[in-house]
């Protein structure tokens, strides 16, 4: 569970029994966003963002992780992935390499370059599996690298390992 | 640049030195040649003079001898017998002016030719007897100095005494006209030549002068003493009077006061006791003239030689330069060939690199495309296996597995098709095919996808369109591929049209969409395998990326033609043409 500065203020104000509209006024955001943030804050499960343009790959992975009690959100292209990371602040990103609009490397690079998102761990997923791809992925800051088709148990183990390693 | 200039200076200096050497050699040689020619010329002149002198002496002496023989032979004869011979002698020998007989008393009694004989002329009476007396007293032929004749001109008088024992009978007087001698021996020398000949007696009196007739009979020495115009000549005349022979040079004064060198070659005429002298006087410029004429000949020769050498050299140079040009042209063309070949090699290399990249891209793409459905199937299967999955999830997972098996199958089929096309092993079951039904079948198989995306499908096929020759199944595959392609790139509620028409013995099918279009530079590449690699445009639409490549392969196997036209953002049109049946 990761909190940004606004989340922390909301928590503080809630402890002082502030109303939603007061919080919205204080932070300069809409009331619905305050509600959304509170809903998100109330979900204490670990949040994972899966980025893959292949719905057939994305869906079983999502189901499997949900069954492990992860809060799973999804994105189908590079741009959407960047938006989701910024809005949802996931605890981990599973990032496919071949994506429309922005490919996995570019997404990874942008996330690592941005201070707000640089701490978010990234596991790269790809069907290519060539050594040069792996090296490039690690060099631009990916935390781990899994090739398709992967073993679900192994992927889960790696997710947990990365989360443990990068826990705040 | 500096070295070049230095070289020029060195060459210039060498040239100047060579020119100086050649010039000085030329001058030296010229001097020597002049000397030799001068010597030869002088010798020749002297020889001429000597020859003339000997000729004159011989001629005159011969005449004297004839008369002497007559006088001695006929000394005892009657005077009439003696004088009869005069006619014969006069007629048979040339050169006599007249032959006369003077009796012991000094009176002319006979002469031949008679009209020239002053018969009755008394020497004593006229006081002209000194020569007669001398001949008589000395009993020896007396030759008197040339004296003027009555008829003009000079004559040489030869007095031959006739003695019969001790009895003096008279004198035969033979007169030889000087002009006879000089015309015969001196005048011809200077024919066609510059200069003149003169002859003097022992006193310096002119016996002949080829230049100045009026001087004949006058004394040169006297003339010179009165009017000393030509220094040096006097000395020569004195030498001549002494009976010497040789050549000498003196400065002759001309009328216009200029002076010119005159070469004089002289030789003595020794006729009995008389010593005359023949001289040939020629301007020194004659020698220069001679040298010049020699040089002129040499120059002509040299000029011819140089012209031949230059002409030959130029010819050779022209020949070599032509060779050179041919060689250069050959080298140029060879170099051009090599450059072109090099370029071709470079291009081929580029093409090979491109092909290699395409191949590795293809392999990478194939592995990706094969692994993706496998990953989906595997994960789904594992989810099914996890227990705790709800019915809904189980159904979802099952669908994914089945769908991906189909996808994998399609991909494998496409790859196999492609491999057959590329290796030329595609079996076509050729028959007469109605494109009408091909299009209808194709539409049928894409119907669901069209309606799912809310796409409007326009079909325009003229009634009774001609049949084409081809493999029905394969052509249906082409049309389905083109339609699928159009569907993928056409947004929801877009429009797809399929049109057929006949033209020039061919049938044309056009599949147009209102999709994103293709950039012009990529129009040819869309038929490449996995053209969509790295292209986010097409990646959005998914697909194996092999459909168009297979279409192209099939159409080309039918000897047809397929191409794409597009306006970026407005949509694309894929067109193929096949030959009509029959």
Contact B487, B496 (CB under 8 A): yes
Dihedral angle computed from the Cα positions of residues B191, B195, B198 and B204, in that order, rounded to the nearest 10 degrees: 180
Instruction: Give B565's strand partners.
Output: B573
pLDDT, position B339: 93
Kind of pairing between the strands at A92-96 and A122-126: parallel
- Which among A56, A128, A152 has CB closest to B400? A56
Residue among A70, A105, A149 with most chain B CBs within 10 A, to mutate: A149
Q: Is residue B351 part of a domain?
A: yes
Cβ-count burial of B110 within 10 angstroms (0-12 exposed, 13-18 middle, 19+ buried)? buried
pLDDT in tens, A114-132: 888 888 899 988 776 565 6
Distance from CA of B561 to the nearest CA of A (A): 32
Residue B542 sits in which domain range? 426-579
Q: Where are the beta strands (DSSP E) in B402-455?
A: 430-433
Q: Is B577 left (phi over 0), alpha (psi -120 to 50) or beta?
A: beta
Interatomic CA distance for residues B286 and B195, integer angstroms: 9
Q: Which residues of B touch A151 (CB under 8 A)?
A: 378, 382
ipTM of this predicted complex? 0.79
Q: Which residues of B touch A150 (CB under 8 A)?
A: 375, 378-379
pLDDT category, B24, cuts 50, 70, 90?
Answer: very high
Q: Is residue B205 part of a domain?
A: no
CB atoms within 10 A of CB B276: 27
Q: Which residues of B touch A67 (CB under 8 A)?
A: 383, 386, 388-389
Residues 6+ apart with CB under 8 A from B48: B189, B265, B280
Q: Is residue B222 part of a domain?
A: no
pLDDT, position A33: 81
Size of interface A-B (CB pairs under 8 A): 84
pLDDT, position B238: 86
Domain finish residue from B406, B424, B442? B424
Interatomic CA distance for residues B53 and B245, integer angstroms: 10
CA angle, B8 as apex, B7 and B14 as ends, to 5°?
90
pLDDT, position B342: 93
Contact A44, A69 (CB under 8 A): no
pLDDT over threshold 60, residue B542: no
Q: Where are the beta strands (DSSP E) in B4-129?
A: 96-103, 108-112
Domain finish residue from B381, B405, B424? B424
pLDDT over threshold 80, residue B111: yes
Contact B553, B563 (CB under 8 A): no
Residue of B nearest to A78 (CA): B536
Nearest Cα neighbor of B86 from B110, B51, B60 is B110
B361 and B450 together in one domain? no
Q: Hunting for tokens 């001109």 — which residue is that?
A: B153
SS3 A126: strand
Work out the average pLDDT over B463-478: 88
B404 and B434 together in one domain? no
Interatomic CA distance for residues B578 and B399, integer angstroms: 40
B436 and B530 together in one domain? yes
pLDDT, position B508: 92
CATH number of the domain at B306, please. 1.10.287.130
Spacing of C-alpha B406 from chain mean position: 87
Tokens linked to B299: 């120059």
Contact A37, A7 (CB under 8 A): yes
pLDDT over threshold 80, residue B409: yes
Contact A146, A158 (CB under 8 A): yes
- Which among A64, A67, A100 has CB closest to B536? A100
pLDDT, position B537: 43
What distance separates the 2 farthest-apart alpha carbons in chain B?
Answer: 203
**Does residue B64 have a cis peptide bond before it, meaning omega lies within 30 degrees of 0?**
no
B397 and B465 together in one domain? no
B575 and B431 together in one domain? yes
Distance from CA of B340 to the nearest CA of A (A): 38
CB atoms within 10 A of CB B180: 19
B565 and B465 together in one domain? yes
pLDDT over threshold 80, residue B496: yes
Q: Hunting for tokens 């000597």 — which residue is that?
A: B50
B413 and B438 together in one domain? no
B374 and B487 together in one domain? no
B317 and B409 together in one domain? yes
CATH number of the domain at B575, please. 3.30.565.10
pLDDT over threshold 80, residue B22: yes
pLDDT, position B407: 83
Work out the average pLDDT over B120-135: 87
Cβ-count burial of B424 within 10 angstroms (0-12 exposed, 13-18 middle, 19+ buried)? exposed
Q: Is residue B297 part of a domain?
A: yes
pLDDT over threshold 50, residue B158: yes
Q: Which residues of A touch B374 (CB under 8 A)?
A: 148-149
Contact A112, A140 (CB under 8 A): yes
- Which among A64, A67, A147 has CB closest to B379? A64
pLDDT over threshold 50, residue B540: no
CB atoms within 10 A of CB B60: 23
pLDDT, position B189: 84
Q: How high does pLDDT run on average in chain B? A: 86
Cβ-count burial of B475 within 10 angstroms (0-12 exposed, 13-18 middle, 19+ buried)? buried
Inter-chain contact B396–A59, Cβ cutoff 8 Å? yes
Most confident by average pLDDT, B199-203, B339-343, B500-504, B518-522: B339-343
Domain finish residue from B424, B456, B491? B424
Contact B575, B563 (CB under 8 A): yes
Q: Which residues of B touch A50 (CB under 8 A)?
A: none
Q: Which residues of B touch A65 (CB under 8 A)?
A: none
Q: Which residues of B touch A105 (CB under 8 A)?
A: none
pLDDT, greater one: B172 or B504 = B172
Q: Which residues of B touch A72 (CB under 8 A)?
A: none
Distance from CA of B539 to the nearest CA of A (A): 6
**Looking at beta carbons, which pairs linking B317-320 to residues 24 or more positions away fall under 8 Å?**
none
Residue among A53, A56, A153 with most chain B CBs within 10 A, to mutate: A56
Tokens linked to A136: 């490039």
B524 and B563 together in one domain? yes
pLDDT, position B330: 93
pLDDT over threshold 60, residue B1: no
- Which among B367, B378, B400 has CB closest to A59? B400
Residue of A nearest to B398 (CA): A60
pLDDT, position B37: 85
Of A139-143, B80-84, B563-567, which gets the smallest average pLDDT? A139-143
A-contacting residues in B 361-420 (Cβ below 8 Å): 364, 367-369, 371-380, 382-383, 386, 388-389, 393, 396-397, 400, 403-404, 407
Residues 6+ apart with CB under 8 A from B512: B486, B496, B497, B498, B499, B571, B572, B573, B574
B442 and B553 together in one domain? yes
Q: Considering only CB atoms, which residues of chain A are within 8 Å of chain B?
A: 53-54, 56-57, 59-61, 63-64, 67, 77, 98-101, 126-130, 147-153
pLDDT, position B305: 94
CB atoms within 10 A of CB B299: 11
Indicate whether this model's pTM tops 0.90. no
Work out the average pLDDT over B98-127: 88
Distance from CA of B414 to the nearest CA of A (A): 20
pLDDT, position B533: 42
Interatomic CA distance for residues A123 and A141, integer angstroms: 10
pLDDT over threshold 80, residue B300: yes
Contact A98, A126 (CB under 8 A): yes
Look up residue B428 and give its DSSP letter.
P
- Which among B367, B397, B540 has CB closest to A100? B540
pLDDT in tens, B260-270: 888 899 999 99
Within chain A, which residues score under 50 in pLDDT?
Answer: none
State phi, psi for B315 to the nearest 5 degrees: -60, -45
Contact A110, A139 (CB under 8 A): no
Question: Could you state, in order of their start, the residue ranges of all structural domains in chain A?
Answer: 5-42, 47-166
Work out the average pLDDT over B52-71: 90
CATH architecture of A47-166: 3-Layer(aba) Sandwich (3.40)
B420 and B430 together in one domain? no
What's the domain count of chain B?
2
Measured over the CA atoms of residue B87, residue B92, residue B93 and residue B94, the dihedral's sign is positive
Dihedral angle computed from the Cα positions of residues B367, B370, B375 and B381, in that order, rounded to the nearest 10 degrees: -150
pLDDT category, B538, cuts 50, 70, 90?
Answer: very low
- State how far the alpha carbon of B65 is from the alpha carbons of B58, B61, B97, B164, B165, in Å: 10, 6, 16, 18, 20
Q: Where are the beta strands (DSSP E) in B205-352?
A: 206-209, 246-253, 259-271, 274-283
């Amino acid at each position: 569970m990761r909190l940004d500065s606004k989340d922390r203020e909301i928590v503080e104000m809630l402890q002082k029994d502030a109303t939603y509209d007061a919080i919205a006024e204080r932070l300069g955001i809409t009331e619905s966003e305050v509600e959304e943030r509170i809903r998100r804050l109330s979900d204490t499960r670990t949040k994972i963002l899966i980025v893959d343009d292949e719905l057939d790959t994305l869906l079983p992975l999502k189901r499997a992780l949900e069954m492990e009690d992860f809060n799973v959100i999804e994105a189908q292209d590079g741009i959407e992935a960047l938006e989701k990371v910024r809005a949802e602040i996931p605890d981990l990103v599973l990032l496919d390499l071949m994506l429309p609009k922005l490919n996995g490397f570019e997404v990874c690079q942008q996330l690592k370059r941005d201070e707000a998102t640089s701490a978010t761990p990234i596991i790269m997923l790809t069907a290519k599996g060539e050594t040069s791809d792996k090296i490039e992925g690690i060099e631009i800051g990916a935390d781990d690298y899994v090739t398709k088709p992967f073993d679900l148990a192994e992927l889960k183990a790696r997710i947990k390992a990365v989360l443990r390693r990068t826990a705040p | 640049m500096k070295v070049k200039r230095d070289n020029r200076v060195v060459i210039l200096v060498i040239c100047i030195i060579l020119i100086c050497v050649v010039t000085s050699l030329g001058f030296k040689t010229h001097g020597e040649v002049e000397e030799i020619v001068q010597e030869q010329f002088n010798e020749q002149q002297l020889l001429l003079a000597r020859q003339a002198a000997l000729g004159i002496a011989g001629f005159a002496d011969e005449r004297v001898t004839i008369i002497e023989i007559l006088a001695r032979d006929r000394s005892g004869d009657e005077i009439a017998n003696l004088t009869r011979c005069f006619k014969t002698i006069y007629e048979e020998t040339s050169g006599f002016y007249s032959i006369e007989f003077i009796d012991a008393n000094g009176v002319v009694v006979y002469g031949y030719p008679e009209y020239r004989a002053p018969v009755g002329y008394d020497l004593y009476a006229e006081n002209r007897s000194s020569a007669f007396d001398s001949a008589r007293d000395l009993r020896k032929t007396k030759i008197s100095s040339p004296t003027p004749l009555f008829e003009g001109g000079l004559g040489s008088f030869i007095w031959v005494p006739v003695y019969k024992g001790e009895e003096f009978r008279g004198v035969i007087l033979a007169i030889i006209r000087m002009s006879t001698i000089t015309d015969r021996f001196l005048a011809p020398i200077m024919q066609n030549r510059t200069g003149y000949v003169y002859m003097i007696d022992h006193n310096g009196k002119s016996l002949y002068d080829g230049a100045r007739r009026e001087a004949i009979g006058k004394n040169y020495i006297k003339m010179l003493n009165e009017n000393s115009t030509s220094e040096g000549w006097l000395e020569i005349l004195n030498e001549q009077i002494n009976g010497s022979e040789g050549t000498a040079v003196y400065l002759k004064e001309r009328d216009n006061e200029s002076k010119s060198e005159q070469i004089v070659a002289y030789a003595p005429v020794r006729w009995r006791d008389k010593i005359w002298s023949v001289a040939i006087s020629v301007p020194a410029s004659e020698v220069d003239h001679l040298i010049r004429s020699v040089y002129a000949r040499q120059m002509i020769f040299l000029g011819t030689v140089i012209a031949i050498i230059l002409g030959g050299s130029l010819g050779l140079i022209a020949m070599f330069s032509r060779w050179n040009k041919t060689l250069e042209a050959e080298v140029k063309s060879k170099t051009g060939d090599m450059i072109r070949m090099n370029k071709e090699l470079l291009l081929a290399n580029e093409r090979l690199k491109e092909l290699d990249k395409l191949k590795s891209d293809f392999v990478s793409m194939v592995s990706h495309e094969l692994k993706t459905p496998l990953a989906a199937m595997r994960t789904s299967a594992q989810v099914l296996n996890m227990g705790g999955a709800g019915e809904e999830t189980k159904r979802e997972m099952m669908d994914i597995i089945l769908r991906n098996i189909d996808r994998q199958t399609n991909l494998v089929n496409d790859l196999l098709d492609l491999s057959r096309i590329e290796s030329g092993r595609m079996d076509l079951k050729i028959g007469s095919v109605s494109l009408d039904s091909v299009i209808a079948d194709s539409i049928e198989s894409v119907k669901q996808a069209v309606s799912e995306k809310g796409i409007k499908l326009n079909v325009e096929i003229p009634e009774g369109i001609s049949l084409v020759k081809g493999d029905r199944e394969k052509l249906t595959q082409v049309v389905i591929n083109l339609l699928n392609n159009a569907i993928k790139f056409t947004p929801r509620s877009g429009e797809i049209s399929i049109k057929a028409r006949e033209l020039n013995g061919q049938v044309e099918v056009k599949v147009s969409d209102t999709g994103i279009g293709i950039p012009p530079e990529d129009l040819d590449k869309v038929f490449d395998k996995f053209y969509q690699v790295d292209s986010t445009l097409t990646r959005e639409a998914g697909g194996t990326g092999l459909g168009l490549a297979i279409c192209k392969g099939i159409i080309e196997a039918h000897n047809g033609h397929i191409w794409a036209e597009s306006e970026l953002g407005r949509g694309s049109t894929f067109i193929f043409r096949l030959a009509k049946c029959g």
